[in-house]
């Protein structure tokens, strides 16, 4: 039985079966003839041999894996050039699959598992694409072929998973354009035919020489096949022994280099699975010292990636991220590194992503004409948390707009997020990718109307305070509040206003603007509430007035009363007594100070009237409440809660009450 290590190529035409049902025999013959005329010269140019054609499919073999892939690239380019001038129903779009391995040669045909794998890979290949297996990837000249990992695939009839790669055909890439130019120049270069004959004669002489030389000792190709077989059966010691034999007999031979790399990858992968990373790196170093012709950079990179991913097993995301950042700094333009980072730490955690994953995702999105949707999610969440509303990264947003338009749906979920920065960034991203409709805009603007203060200040118990200080830039606060006022004011005059309100997620109307100062903005906001939400505002006001937990709401509700009119259930004495005496210990935000001062003025006016005793009782009760606040704020827990800053203010109020009572 005669065998040989070859690279097998399968090609077939997309939609050929459907064409056969609607085309004449002459039409099909013409299609297949044009197909053959386009492919055959390219295949022969790269030293390929057409074994047979099966309908629209070609089975081709190459001695060189690199030439096989380059042939596939030029085939796709030839078809693209052809299709440009053809009507859509006459275009030819093919898919190409490649695999390398030992095949049996019989009667001009090829047989074996390597052929079966190539055929199965063709079944998962998309039109206009070139897919190839790891055996091709390891053997080819990677510097000549731009490629990316597709992933492991379990194929019908193949007992183990096969790692698949694809050629990156990025026509916007300068490197890819230069590659196509080189391939075409080689094709049309004067004297190329003569050189082919000379090369063929040289190849025959070399084959004869090698056959004679290795007749008794066995060829490197046969030994390589044995190594591949041993690794398939997980017999690493046998594979290692055979690669040592090859290194001794055929040092520097391409098959020897491939064999040693296969064994080195298998050994280091085993050590990495056992968490013996230092030993793996030492093995790589020894291999490099023993065989100067062996390129160990790929094996070293894979060990570093294994090591970076290891902390994830114990949930240590930060250590893993730091290690992946180091790998990325070492291999900044390596696509395999980008993919490993995205796969390992590309998840979204608390609506955010790791900086390293964000960087890797951006590189993948820029280099891949059809990137995975997961890449878009990573870029979106990275921008969502880091972007300033006033410094939009236009390049990244354009990537989202053109390559990941579906991220507009993710942005919708954050238009009413509690954190100011996230919801405003979501609004910017949503409108840049796909402008919001009226209902989406209403939801966002209503949320801003009821959560922004107009001053940049926020109570410390409010989830909106997304900065440590509980403060957002005043100019941004005012900018977004004004946008909300303008939008709702204009929308409320529209005939469909009521329908928009019903469709928007603002039912219940449980929140009032938490404004911390009585100023012109407050008056504008309240007038708009009465205009746009009259029924909702009046029905919700009593509940706002009796809220003893959310003091900004309580404060704003009191200022809103003159705009609404009389509230039958409102009792001013009860309201002000609650403001002075019924709040949480140590809780003394600015809004409480405003309410306390208003209550103090209210009961001060009653000291000289018929309700003096009632006023005195409540003021004494207020002193006890202040003592409770001061005592808590003086404790270690109170200081830790950052409440000690309000002690002077509380002491001032206490002194004011004592002066009033003394008078």
Mean pLDDT of the region 308-324 = 92
CA–CA dist 521, 444 (Å, integer): 19
Mean pLDDT of the region 304-328 = 93
Pairing type for strands 162-167 and 147-153 reads antiparallel
**Hey, what are 33's tokens?**
């003839």
Confidence of residue 59 (pLDDT cuts 50, 70, 90): very high
- The pLDDT score that the predictor gives to residue 469 is 42
475 Cβ partners below 8 Å, 6+ apart? none
DSSP string, 130-159: EEEEHHHHHHS-TTTS-EEEEEEE--TT-S
Burial code of 259-282, b = ≥16 C-beta within 10 A, e = fewer? bbbbbbbbbbbebbeeeebeebbe
**Hey, what are 296's tokens?**
């160990």
- The pLDDT score that the predictor gives to residue 210 is 45
Tell which wins on pLDDT, 62 or 551: 62
> For 601-659, what is the HEC assignment?
HHHHCCCCCCCHHHHHHHHHHHHHHHHHHHHHHCCHHHHHCCCHHHHHHHHHHHHHHHH
- The pLDDT score that the predictor gives to residue 368 is 82
Tokens 């066995």 sit on residue: 218
**Hey, what are 633's tokens?**
């704020």
Q: Range with the lowest mean pLDDT among 15-24, 226-235, 302-311, 380-389?
A: 15-24
103 Cβ partners below 8 Å, 6+ apart? 3, 4, 5, 6, 8, 61, 110, 111, 112, 114, 115
The alpha-helical segments, DSSP class H, found in 507-609 are 520-532, 534-545, 551-564, 572-581, 590-604
Pairing type for strands 130-133 and 94-106 reads parallel
* Range among 262-271, 342-351, 363-372, 411-420 rated most confident: 262-271
3-state secondary structure at position 417 = coil
Mean pLDDT of the region 367-395 = 79
Q: What is the pLDDT of residues 397-421, one digit of tens each?
A: 888 988 999 999 999 988 888 788 8
CA–CA dist 174, 415 (Å, integer): 39
Is-contact 303 268, C-beta < 8 A? yes
CA–CA dist 151, 170 (Å, integer): 19
3-state percent breakdown (helix, strand, coil) of the chain, nearest 5: 65, 10, 30
**220 pLDDT more than 80:** no
- The pLDDT score that the predictor gives to residue 511 is 53
Mean pLDDT of the region 12-39 = 75
- The pLDDT score that the predictor gives to residue 325 is 94
**Hey, what are 478's tokens?**
């005012």
Q: Range with the lowest mean pLDDT among 75-89, 109-123, 601-615?
A: 75-89
- The pLDDT score that the predictor gives to residue 86 is 78
**158 pLDDT more than 90:** no
- The pLDDT score that the predictor gives to residue 248 is 85
Mean pLDDT of the chain: 81
Is-contact 442 500, C-beta < 8 A? yes
Return the sign of the alpha-carbon dihedral for residues 439, 440, 445, 448: positive
**Hey, what are 645's tokens?**
């800053």
Tell which wins on pLDDT, 167 or 608: 167
CA–CA dist 272, 303 (Å, integer): 7
Q: Range with the lowest mean pLDDT among 352-356, 483-487, 491-495, 555-559?
A: 555-559
CA–CA dist 284, 294 (Å, integer): 10
* Range among 241-250, 451-460, 618-627, 647-656 rated most confident: 618-627
Q: Range with the lowest mean pLDDT among 28-37, 194-203, 334-343, 631-640?
A: 194-203
**276 pLDDT more than 90:** yes
**83 pLDDT more than 70:** yes
Mean pLDDT of the region 567-587 = 76
**461 pLDDT more than 80:** no
> For 443-467, what is the HEC assignment?
HHHHHHHHHCCCCCECCCCCCCCCC
Calculate the dihedral angle through the C-alpha atoms of 208, 214, 216, 221, rounding to the nearest 10 degrees: -110
CA proximity to 508, closest of 484, 478, 536: 536
- The pLDDT score that the predictor gives to residue 191 is 40
Q: How far apart are the two ends of the chain, measured CA to CA in Å?
A: 118
Confidence of residue 342 (pLDDT cuts 50, 70, 90): very high
Tell which wins on pLDDT, 627 or 595: 627
The alpha-helical segments, DSSP class H, found in 214-354 are 220-232, 236-249, 254-273, 277-290, 297-309, 317-330, 335-345
- The pLDDT score that the predictor gives to residue 584 is 56
Q: What is the pLDDT of residues 494-553, one digit of tens each?
A: 999 999 988 887 654 555 555 544 456 777 888 888 898 888 888 888 888 877 777 767
- The pLDDT score that the predictor gives to residue 188 is 40
Alpha carbon separation from 56 to 15, 34, 35, 219 (Å, rounded)? 10, 11, 8, 36
Tell which wins on pLDDT, 97 or 436: 97
**215 pLDDT more than 50:** no
């Amino acid at each position: 039985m005669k065998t040989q290590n070859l690279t097998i190529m399968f090609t077939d035409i997309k939609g050929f079966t459907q064409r056969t049902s609607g085309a004449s025999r002459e039409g099909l013959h013409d299609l297949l003839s044009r197909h053959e005329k386009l492919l055959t010269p390219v295949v022969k140019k790269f030293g390929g041999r057409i074994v047979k054609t099966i309908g629209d499919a070609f089975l081709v073999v190459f001695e060189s894996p690199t030439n096989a892939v380059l042939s596939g690239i030029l085939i796709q380019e030839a078809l693209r050039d052809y299709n440009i001038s053809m009507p859509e129903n006459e275009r030819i779009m093919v898919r190409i699959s490649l695999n390398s391995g030992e095949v049996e040669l019989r009667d001009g045909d090829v047989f074996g598992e390597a052929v079966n794998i190539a055929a199965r890979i063709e079944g998962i290949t998309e039109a206009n694409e070139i897919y190839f297996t790891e055996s091709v990837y390891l053997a080819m000249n990677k510097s000549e072929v731009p490629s990316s990992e597709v992933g492991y695939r379990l194929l019908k009839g193949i007992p183990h998973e096969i790692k698949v790669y694809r050629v990156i055909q990025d026509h916007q890439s300068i490197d890819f354009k230069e590659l196509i130019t080189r391939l075409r120049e080689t094709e049309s270069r004067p004297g190329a035919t003569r050189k082919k004959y000379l090369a063929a004669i040289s190849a025959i002489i070399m084959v004869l020489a090698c056959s004679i030389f290795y007749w008794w000792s066995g060829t490197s190709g046969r030994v390589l096949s044995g190594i591949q077989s041993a690794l398939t059966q997980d017999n690493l010691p046998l594979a290692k022994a055979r690669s040592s034999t090859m290194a001794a007999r055929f040092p520097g031979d391409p098959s020897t280099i491939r064999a040693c790399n296969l064994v080195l990858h298998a050994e280091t992968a085993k050590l990495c699975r056992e968490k013996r990373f230092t030993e793996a790196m030492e093995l790589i170093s020894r291999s490099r010292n023993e065989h100067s012709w062996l390129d160990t950079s790929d094996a070293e990179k894979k060990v570093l990636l294994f090591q970076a991913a290891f902390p994830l097993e114990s949930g240590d995301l930060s250590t893993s991220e730091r290690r992946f950042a180091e790998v990325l700094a070492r291999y900044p333009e390596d696509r395999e590194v980008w993919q490993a980072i995205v796969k390992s730490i590309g998840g979204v955690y608390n609506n955010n992503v790791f900086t390293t994953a964000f960087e890797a995702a951006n590189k993948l999105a820029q280099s891949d004409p059809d990137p995975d949707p997961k890449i878009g999610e990573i870029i979106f969440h990275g921008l969502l948390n880091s972007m300033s509303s006033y410094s939009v990264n236009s390049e990244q947003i354009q990537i989202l707009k053109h390559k990941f338009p579906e991220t507009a749906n993710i942005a919708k979920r954050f238009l009413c997020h509690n954190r100011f920065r996230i919801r405003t960034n979501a609004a910017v991203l949503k409108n840049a990718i796909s402008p919001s409709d009226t209902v989406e805009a209403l939801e966002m603007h209503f949320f801003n109307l009821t959560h922004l203060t107009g001053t940049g200040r926020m109570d410390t118990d409010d989830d909106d305070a997304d900065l440590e200080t509980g403060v957002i830039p005043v100019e941004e606060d005012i900018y977004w509040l004004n946008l909300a006022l303008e939008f709702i004011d204009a929308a409320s005059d529209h005939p469909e206003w009521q329908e928009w309100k019903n469709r928007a997620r603002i039912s219940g109307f449980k929140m009032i603007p938490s404004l911390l100062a009585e100023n012109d903005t407050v008056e504008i906001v309240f007038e708009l509430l009465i205009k746009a939400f009259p029924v909702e505002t009046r029905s919700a006001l009593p509940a706002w007035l009796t809220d003893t937990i959310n003091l900004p709401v309580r404060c704003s509700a009191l200022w809103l009363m003159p705009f609404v009119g009389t509230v039958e259930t409102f009792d001013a004495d009860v309201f002000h007594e609650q403001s002075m005496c019924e709040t949480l210990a140590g809780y003394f935000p600015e809004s409480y100070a405003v309410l306390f001062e208003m209550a103090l003025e209210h009961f001060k006016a009653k000291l000289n009237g018929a309700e003096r005793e009632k006023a005195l009782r409540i003021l004494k009760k207020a002193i006890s409440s202040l003592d409770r606040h001061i005592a808590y704020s003086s404790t270690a827990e109170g200081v830790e809660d950052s409440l000690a800053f309000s002690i002077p203010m509380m002491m001032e109020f206490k002194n004011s009450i004592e002066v009033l009572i003394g008078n």
